[in-house]
Every structure is written in C-alpha cells, then in structure tokens.
Structure 1
Amino acid sequence: MTINVLIADDHAVVRDGLRLLLETQPDIRVVGEVADGRAAVDAALQLKPDVVIMDLAMPLLNGADATVQILEKDESCKVVMLSMHSTVEHVFRALQAGVLGYLRKESAGSEVVDAVRTVHSGRRYLSQKITESVVDDYVRKRADESPLESLSQREREILQLLVEGRSGIDIARQLNISPKTVDTYRSRMMQKLGIGDLPGLVKFALQHGLTTL
C-alpha cells in the first residue's frame, strides 16, 4: 500500500531534502509540495494525501492553524509537524491542533520515514529528542509553578510529619529542634500555602505526592 505525502515548508532546500528521502522508499510517494500554510490547506483538500509533513512556522498561515483547517474538512488526514522548537508550548500547541507526529527539523532526516509510517498507521510519533526535551521542560515548569516549591526542605519535612499524625513534641524530638520552632515552621508554611488548618495541610500533602496516607 502506497502512502501519499504532501510536503509543506517555506524552505525549498527542506522540501527537496524531504522529497529525496521519502521517494527512496518503495511504499511512499510525494504527491505535492507547497511553501505556505494556506497553500497547504488547499493542496491537502485537493490532493487528499494520507500524510502531510507540515512546518510549524510558515507564511500566511502557521502550521498548527493549517492543521486545524485541514482536519476540519478531512479528519482521515494525518499530520507530522516539523519545527525548530521543542518546548512544551510548541509541542502541546501542535498536539492540540491534531497532529500525530512532531519532529525537530535537525533530526527530521533520520526519522521522517518512520514518522510517516507510524502516523499513517494511526499511532503517535514524537522523536526521542522531543520526548526528552518536553519532559525536562515540563519538570522545570512544574517546579516553577508548584506551591510545594515555596517551602524549604525543613518545612517540607515538618509538613510530612504533621500530616502523618506526629505531634509537635515528637517532631521536635526527631528533628532535634524545640517544639516552639516546630510551631513557628507550621505557622510559616500555612501562611505560605494559604491553608488554615491541619485537614487542609493533609489534603495539600496528598495532592502533591508528599505522602501516601
């Protein structure tokens, strides 16, 4: 079964390189090339390719919005997005538009054939570099946004012991500090988190994976 592919990229050298790679495969045929997003929509609806290889940043209409317009008219079409970027925002934007594949341009040459075959079969394809980058970016983003990160290491220690049912005296003894210091830490963390009672602290600790009561 032949997979018909449309290439949409505003750089001729990229289009030429992708065509050369794809047409060496016996099961893949390039049915067209376009250089902007609006032309990609028109060509996809006219040529009915199985897979569109779409640049994210293109003149007249970006690749994500072009993907949305194509899939609104032909939901059977599969899209592989090419981009210079691999941040969470770029990848999620593409996935929300409906693409099944996402490749960094720098690695597209070595992965594009696998990506085309994978998305044609209805499965998602994210290159390894994309996957690693997105995970790293997500971890950093969560660290920046998580209220847990506003607490010091000692405050997190005391929070966990509190929600596990330890008394102030027990905590003081275990951490080799005074009960008054424990109370100070507890008041400070409640203020930071905007929580006014122990049940609220327990709920917070469970939600953020600090304990598995």
Structure 2
Amino acid sequence: EATREIHARSPGVQVVVLSMHASKEHVLQALMAGAVGYVLKEAAGAEVVTAVRAVCAGHRYISPALGLLPQEVDLLTTAGGPLASLSARERQVLQLVAEGKSSADIAQRVHLSRKTVETYRSRLMKKLGVSDVTALVKFAVQHGLTPPG
C-alpha cells in the first residue's frame, strides 16, 4: 500500500521494500506496485545498503534469500501477459477497484478527478477484455493485485 502511494505521489522515487514476507506473491505485489527492490527483514543490514546501491545504479534488487532467479523475477513482472500492457497508474487503479473502492474514493486517494478514474476503469476493461467491474475485480484477484490475506 505504501509503495503504491509513494509511487503515485512521486513517480521518480525508487522504492526498496523491506519485508518479513518471503513469498513470490508478496514480491510480485511489491514490484507491480512500483517497487524496484525487495529485501527480507531477516537479511537486513549490509544487504539494505547493497539493495540501495543496486537501485541507484539503475538495477532491480531482489534479496537472494528469496531464492528467485533474475529471469524468474522478470518473468513474473513482464511475461507479456495482460498486466505487461498496463501502466503503473492503470495497475494502481485496477488494484483499488479490486479492493472495492469507488471512483470517488480512488480519485481522492490518487489525486485525480472522478471522471479521469472512470476513464481509467473503462480503458482497463477494454485492454483486459472484460465487460464489467465484477470481471475486472476477478481479473485483479487472479493476477495477485489484491492485498495479501
């Protein structure tokens, strides 16, 4: 949630997530929300410095303790599937729709007009080939764009 908010307010900021969660789903959600790094709390310390340096150099950093290969991370985030065609803002709106937020709530949260949010919602349905909000929510859930647990 914080990553999405930071990315929405300051798109140029590079976010490195420090988390206790070691699942692929959590990593994917963080990356899809705009994070460029993911470090486990248990491996913190020098690894945080390594992650920040990697991100500052323009690279993505995923904690080796997660056991994910760089190719696997790339596949998770850019597999050419329907999510790959969405902008960060479209993914953000999709996630908020899936969380049950109204257009007015989303507009206030991401600092857009309600009409602009409705345009995003309509564009998402067209891009993803769905005809209603229920199908949009189902798509988001199936692709891990809802908050864990």
Q: Based on CA coordinates, which of the two structures has the bigger radius of gyration?
A: 1
Higher share of residues assigned strand: 1
